Amino acid sequence: MVEGIHRHSKIPIDYENPTSIELAALALSNQAPFHLIVNTIGILHTEQWMPEKKLDELNEDQLTKLMQINAIGPALTLKYFSKLLDPSASIMAVLSAKVGSIEDNRLGGWYSYRASKAALNMLIKTAAIEFSRTKPNTTLVALHPGTVNSRLSKPFRGEQIGRPAMDAAQDLLRVIYSLKNEDSGSFISYASERLPW
């Protein structure tokens, strides 16, 4: 059985309303245990603002919103939804982004997005260490989907340079299905490349 949830689903989840995360997990608890949970929620830009190209463009509202949706929401999802995973064998995968890699940052810019994804990566890595003790049969990873032809990448030539969403999904599922327990705590690209944190 597959269950998809979002802001407008029967069981809604909205990262701007953190209470909805716990309520969604509670509503799905009667369907547990789950063998696979994939978190794809994230934000890069809105109609009001685009990623910052320089420090002078950094603003509190943008930084706060991206931290809320790209780091705090996923952290609370880890907290509540990890309780629904099958303790005998399960995977939890969270979409991150290569631009969240501190070591790989060579271009600068995109302050809020980079910082929020770096925070997400730290949360995943830290939870994976805890899971190695408390949920030893659970594999927790951060996944980089690459550039996908979507609303998120459209302002950045995503239609020209991005892969179709179905191809990206198939690539990510291939990576997920190839995961082994020892991969827990890793940052992996859609092409199975290990990325530096």
State which of 43-52, 162-171, 173-182 shows the largest mean pLDDT: 173-182
Query: What is the edge-to-edge ordering of all strands in the sheet holding 36-39?
Result: 36-39, 90-95, 138-144, 187-189
Q: Strands, DSSP E only, in 42-129?
A: 90-95
pLDDT at 149 over 90: no
Q: Are residues 3 and 31 in contact, defined by beta-carbon separation less than 8 angstroms?
A: yes
pTM of the model: 0.92
Classified as helix, coil or strand, 187 is strand
CA distances, 48 to each of 38, 51, 109, 121 (Å):
28, 11, 18, 26
CA distances, 70 to each of 35, 113, 134, 182 (Å):
23, 8, 25, 25
Classified as helix, coil or strand, 79 is helix
d(C-alpha 33, C-alpha 88), whole Å: 10
Handedness of CA 76, 80, 84, 87 (dihedral sign): positive
pLDDT at 189 over 70: yes
d(C-alpha 159, C-alpha 155), whole Å: 9
Confidence at 85, pLDDT banded by 50, 70, 90: very high
Q: Where are the domains of the chain?
A: 35-189
Handedness of CA 159, 160, 166, 171 (dihedral sign): negative
Structure-block tokens of residue 90? 């399960």
Q: Tell me, which fold does domain 35-189 have in CATH?
A: Rossmann fold (3.40.50)
Q: Which residues of 38-49 are buried (b: 16+ CB within 10 A; e: fewer)?
A: ebebbbbbeeee
> Which amino acid makes up residue 185?
G
Confidence at 160, pLDDT banded by 50, 70, 90: low
pLDDT at 157 over 60: no
pLDDT of residue 34: 97
